[in-house]
Structure 1
Amino acid sequence: MVNYDQMLSDRVKVVKPSGIRRFFEMAAKMPHAISLGVGEPDFETPWQIRRAGIQSLEKGQTFYTSNWGLAELRSQIAALARRKYQLCYDADKEILVTVGGSEAIDNTIRALVNPGEEVLIPEPSFVCYTPLTQMAGGVPVPLPTRVEDKFKLTPEALRAAITPRTKLLILPYPNNPTGAIMDRDELQAIANVIRETNIMVLSDEIYNSLTYGPDRHVCFAEIDGMKERTIVVDGFSKSYAMTGWRLGWAMGPKELMRHICKIHQFGIMSAPTTAQFAGIEAIRTGDDDIARMRDQYDLRRRYLLGELRSMGLECFEPEGAFYIFPSIESTGLSSEEFCERLLHEQEVAVIPGSAFGASGEGHVRISYSYSMSHLREACSRMKIFLENLKQEQK
């Protein structure tokens, strides 16, 4: 009999399954469940973007593209970087089109990190960073952030975590799951620490279009001296409601990008051609759609914040992405217990904060990328759950 455990790579065996998907799959088996667990826009991809993809199929444009991606798409991405951030990237040598932002993150970590080298990961943060680091042979080093600091990475915490083996800092702002953002001065403080080292930065900018304050989002590569040591990861999923198209990109120094492209070249070949033609149209004409969707997210954000606070849950006000991260410590339940009971008793799925790192314990992540009708019904059920819990604990 084959011992499959012996067949598996040690790197794969240490990786834990996603805590997000577990609750999503549980809710999917409950016909009346309301899931606020997955970070996916409830908007359809805007019509003119879908039409561009359809037209590419009708024209028979179904062949491989360059490993780097369609030249026109890379030119549009370069123009977007100039327009939004005043950053200049060579479309031929410094921009790689990938299968979603997740592939760009994976390829960057594998290209930069040697076995045993450390990757600094602010937490709570998206679930992929630690597993991808482990599968590359790197050592994930969590940097806990606190609600007292608005879940921002502080220069003091960064400096204290750096060792001779530190290779890469992941900078995930706007943040999933907390909704935290970092402004220019705060990024400058981080840059001042990085400048003293040989550390590279992977700046995950996937939510850059979804911020709700008066100030525009600042890309870390904009900070003086940081462009040459930053890989910027972005994509179409969140900004343009294109999750299923699986299209993203990475931008960085050409000396690094050619090696990141090698991993993409042998593992993927090229991103989906149809999606790339849709991506061209998205950047060309999608700004108004982004603004329309962002206004709706902001409405939902303010509604959900007020509702959660009225239920007696302490709640940090998120300023980016489409997540809210309330504390559930007052209930006396762990985040896993809270989410399991809420799902089984009231059929509402949210994600335990512990899924995003140990510092997420005591919180749950709720996505407001869902319709107002879904949010209202979910809040009604959550109120009943919390009231029942109080009666039970008397």
Structure 2
Amino acid sequence: MNSTTPPRTPRESLPAHQSHVPALPALPPSPNLALDQLVRDRRAAGESLVHLAFGEARLPLLPGIADALTAGARRTAYGPVAGREGAREAVAGYFARRGLPTEADRIVLAPGSKPLLMALQLTVPGDVLLPAPAWNTYAPQAALAGKRAIGVPVPASCGGVPEPSALRTTLTRARAEGLRPRLLVLTLPDNPTGTLASPSLVRELCALAHAEDLLIVSDEIYRDVLHDPSATPFLSPAEVAPDRTVVTTGLSKSLGLGGWRIGAARFPQGDLGRRLHDGVVAAAGELWSTLSGPMQDVAAYAFAEPPEVAARLRDAARLHGAVARAVHRIAVDAGALCRPPTGAFYVYPDFAPLRRELAARGVTDSDSLARRLLEESGVVVLAGHLLGDDPRALRFKAATSLLYGDENEQRQALAAEDPVGLPHIAESLARIAAAFARLTGRRAPAHDLSEIAR
């Protein structure tokens, strides 16, 4: 399989006697998961690939987290749907330390934040306003819930959230077309651009949400992956619009526990918050029942943030920032426009300045751009159109968190003063630079690895 675009899944025909049953939308496989499997298959066949298409934080497991899992291993019984009180109290404390006082009865735990986002889609009527581009799961979840996903442009200055005047225009147009926009999804920091909306922009969007009676879903799973928190102020919509904001988070990105599936949601106070909480709990009871017992022990430990967890969060954010800045510089040196990353572990280069050169080589859109990188250089990226971006644009998401190597190399990278200078990371960066140069027909610049992340 040489395509970076996963094949579509055909819609199955229903028997005649079931023709009255509404058909599920014909969705393709999740593109980032499909590309991750493509990389696994092709590496198993002996290919050498640079994997930039999957946003997984590869970090070594902390001893205390492993101990918490072991301690919970005998918890084999079902527990409360929303989660055990001790685990919910730990999550409430986590939010309180970030300026969001929270009662444990407003927390719901789940096997990852994805199910919580899906449960919210099922609970709240109306259509969904999304940044364009956005994480590739939001729109399919809306479709599965029978909603329309309404994209709103995200200029470079907006830190991955909709521009307010564009959001107003989109609301007017959507309502004129008979749609019912109700949910506004914000991702702070943003996936895919690796940037963060300013506090003033968050306040403006919250005021607009209040005026238009929109419910805000603030996906803050990357909150603890701000590269330099002292230089990048974070304001949660829940601080500005506490009565209409649901916050989701999890341990996949900050602590590298993606495969363990631990997520949490914080619901607002008041009647609306209680109805939303109860609706999500009702959906949870039919979808996942409860977060597994051992994982609740892990949640209780990790969200309490003992010293080893706090230190890991700092070290990981520094590593993510160093490598993301290195890839950003490579993209800019290749002639692309690219927003400087300040959070998460993504860069989102735009090769529009090189459209003429790329067109001469058969690259005319995001799909052909991603295909050429894979087929010509073995570099795997997630094409922008798979994230709701304009298919004609020459943009893609590059996830930099898979460049840290195996577990021993990850430990070296976390401890290194200059992680981009480590041989295994430097080699991957050199391959990316060569791939971008080959793509455009330019000579790859000779990077000083000691300066590349600064």
Same fold (TM over 0.5): yes
- Structure 1 position 238, deviation (Å): 0.7
Q: For 1:157, which of 166, 173, 177 is the aligned residue?
A: 166
SS for the counterpart of 1:239 is coil
> Which whole-Å CA distance do the structure 2 matches of 1:289 and 1:10 have between them?
48
**Mean Cα displacement is larger for which, 147-156 or 193-202?**
147-156
**Counterpart of 2:408?**
none
> Which whole-Å CA distance do the structure 1 matches of 2:244 and 2:158 have between them?
26
CA RMSD in angstroms comes to 2.1
- Structure 1 position 171, deviation (Å): 1.1
> Which whole-Å CA distance do the structure 2 matches of 1:26 and 1:303 have between them?
25
**Counterpart of 1:5?**
13
Amino acid paired to 1:385: A
Deviations 1:312-353 (A, max 9, x none): 222111211110011123233222212222212221211111
Does residue 25 in structure 1 map to residue 25 in structure 2? no
Does residue 35 in structure 1 map to residue 73 in structure 2? no
Is contact 1:144–1:359 with CA below 8 Å preserved after alignment?
Answer: no
Is contact 2:83–2:291 with CA below 8 Å preserved after alignment?
Answer: yes
Percent of aligned pairs with the same amino acid: 23
Q: For 2:98, which of 53, 65, 84 is the aligned residue?
A: 84
> Which whole-Å CA distance do the structure 2 matches of 1:337 and 1:369 have between them?
24
Is contact 2:328–2:338 with CA below 8 Å preserved after alignment?
Answer: yes
Is contact 1:16–1:131 with CA below 8 Å preserved after alignment?
Answer: no
Does residue 362 in structure 1 map to residue 394 in structure 2? yes
Q: For 2:431, which of 377, 381, 388 is the aligned residue?
A: 381
> Which whole-Å CA distance do the structure 2 matches of 1:158 and 1:390 have between them?
35
**Counterpart of 1:68?**
82
Is contact 1:351–1:364 with CA below 8 Å preserved after alignment?
Answer: yes
Q: For 2:339, which of 288, 297, 316 is the aligned residue?
A: 316
Deviations 1:20-50 (A, max 9, x none): 2333232222222121211111102322111
Distance 1:282 1:383, change over 3 A: same
SS for the counterpart of 1:326 is coil
Number of residues of Structure 1 aligned to a counterpart in Structure 2: 381
> Which whole-Å CA distance do the structure 2 matches of 1:257 and 1:314 have between them?
42
Q: For 2:115, which of 85, 100, 103 is the aligned residue?
A: 103
Amino acid paired to 1:218: L
Is contact 1:315–1:325 with CA below 8 Å preserved after alignment?
Answer: yes
SS for the counterpart of 1:366 is strand
**Counterpart of 1:210?**
225
User: Which runs of structure 2 are paired with 1:283-362 in the superposition (5 Å)?
Assistant: 283-284=303-304, 285=306, 286-329=309-352, 330=354, 331-332=358-359, 333=363, 334-359=365-390, 361-362=393-394
Amino acid paired to 2:149: P
SS for the counterpart of 1:162 is helix
Deviations 1:51-105 (A, max 9, x none): 1101221xx22221111101101001111111112x222212x111011010110
> Which whole-Å CA distance do the structure 1 matches of 2:157 and 2:315 have between them?
32
- Structure 1 position 150, deviation (Å): 4.8
> Which whole-Å CA distance do the structure 1 matches of 2:52 and 2:389 have between them?
21
SS for the counterpart of 1:227 is coil
